[in-house]
Amino acid sequence: MVNEVSLGLADLEADLPLLEDAFALGPIVVRRYLATGWMNRNWQVAAGDGFYVLRRILAIPASTARSILAVMSALNNQAVPVCLPVRSATGETVVTVNERCYCLTPWIEGVHRPGNDLSMPGVMSLGRLVGAIHQALAGLPADFDPPSAPEGSDAKVASADDAIHLITRIDRIIGGLCAPERHDLMARTLLRRRLELLGEHSHLRPETLAPAGSFGRVHGDLNPRNLLFRGEDVVAVLDWDRMCVSPYAREVVRAGIAFFGSASGIQDLARVSAFTAAYRTVLPLDEAALADAVSRLWWKRITDVWPAEFRYVRSDRSERIARMFVLDERAIQWWTRHLDDVTAAFAS
């Protein structure tokens, strides 16, 4: 992580003179690296008489970034809190310097808050906001055509056998380590627990490829890192890089799991229920679609050990990946023990 950030800063320092010319805001001073963004590299910078977020775009092509940034103005006009891009002196929202792509947005004061910190009225306000986002995206011009999510209508439902094969492979890699660390030994224990879960619950694999319910444009990655709050008010919805066409129920369930989980893996089901009910006052979602989305997301999570794969197959030894693996395992263990309760919280 440190090497990656240092390399990004070295590139940025080389690019700054040209970025200053492009945006015509005067000298740009880098204040700090923003570690909450995972898909791109982001810095808080000072320029002219204001503060901004300067993003190096890595996760998507520049053309896609331009399309997404163009959507921000339309969403802003429909009262969705977004960060409008700063245009360059030539009117561009994405500037390419030394074959690296950047965009600039104003700095917005706010904090990232887990959903469990919100009051019940705040939880319901969040649910209505997600509904308003989906409404606003549905009203965009037809010529804006984001990609379909991998979990969309043609999604592959993972097999238990494929997951078992990968976990067994990772287990062998850990077993072959010359000097395993404490985390490696814990990871092996957790992976073996996952194998037990898969063996016990493989009969719950979704039977059909096509998810139930209505589809539409969605944000694609609603979680506490991508919302800024002042008090209980959302002042900015961030990081639209995963905007796509997906089942609405999937985004509601994914967001509910992300916002109302805890480090221990326990979900606050009362908040989940209030969040979902508030969403449904804005856009209708039937119980069958929500129950189907819960089942599919649970199955995706129980068959997915991506942090362990990153650490042991792709050799990403970062602390962040190690932490994500432990948190994911706690969450899926608790969810599996309370599968009916979680489904009822979303679909009641």
Predicted pLDDT of residue 152: 47
**Cβ contact 343:270 at 8 Å:** no
| Helical (H) or strand (E) element with 228 | strand 227-230
Q: Cα separations (Å) of 233 from 27, 110, 115, 253?
A: 33, 10, 12, 21
Q: Which tens digit of pLDDT belongs to each residue from 152-177?
A: 444 578 899 999 999 999 999 999 99
Q: How many CA atoms lie within 13 A of 247 on its CB side?
A: 27
- DSSP class of 211: P
Residue-wise pLDDT for 228-257, tens only, equals 999 999 999 999 989 989 999 999 999 999
2 band by pLDDT with thresholds 50, 70 and 90:
very low
CATH superfamily of 2-106: Phosphorylase Kinase; domain 1 (3.30.200.20)
| Alpha helices for the chain (secondary structure H) | 2-23, 62-77, 120-138, 160-175, 182-201, 248-259, 269-280, 287-302, 306-312, 319-337, 339-347
> CA 151: distance to chain centroid?
14
In the chain, domain spans: 2-106, 115-155+205-347
2-106 and 115-155+205-347, same CATH topology: no
CA–CA distance, 119 with 271 (Å, rounded to integer): 9
CA-based nearest residue to 244, from 136, 157, 346, 149: 149
pLDDT band of residue 37 (cuts 50, 70, 90) is: low
CATH architecture of structural domain 115-155+205-347:
Alpha-Beta Complex (3.90)
What is the pLDDT averaged over residues 103-125?
A: 96
Report whether 203 contacts 160 (CB < 8 A): no
- Say if residues 215 and 247 touch (Cβ distance below 8 Å): yes
Among the ranges given (105-109, 119-123, 180-184, 315-319), the one the predictor scored with the smallest mean pLDDT? 315-319
| Packing angle, helices 248-259 and 339-347, rounded to 10 | 120
Q: Where are the alpha helices (H) located in 97-213, listed in sequence order?
A: 120-138, 160-175, 182-201
69: Cβ–Cβ under 8 A, 6 or more apart, which residues?
A: 85, 93, 94, 103
Q: What integer pLDDT is reported at residue 153 of this predicted model?
A: 44
**How does pLDDT run across 205-226, given as a tens digit for each residue?**
998 888 999 999 999 999 999 9
User: DSSP readout, 186-202?
Assistant: HHHHHHHHHHHHHHHHG
pLDDT tens-digit map of 127-155: 999 999 999 999 987 666 676 665 544 45
Beta bridge partners of 44: 32, 53
| Torsion angle, alpha carbons of 202, 203, 204, 208, to 10 | 110
CA 206 to CA 179: how far, in whole Å?
40
User: Can you say how many angstroms the Cα of residue 41 is from the centroid of all Cα atoms in its chain?
Assistant: 15
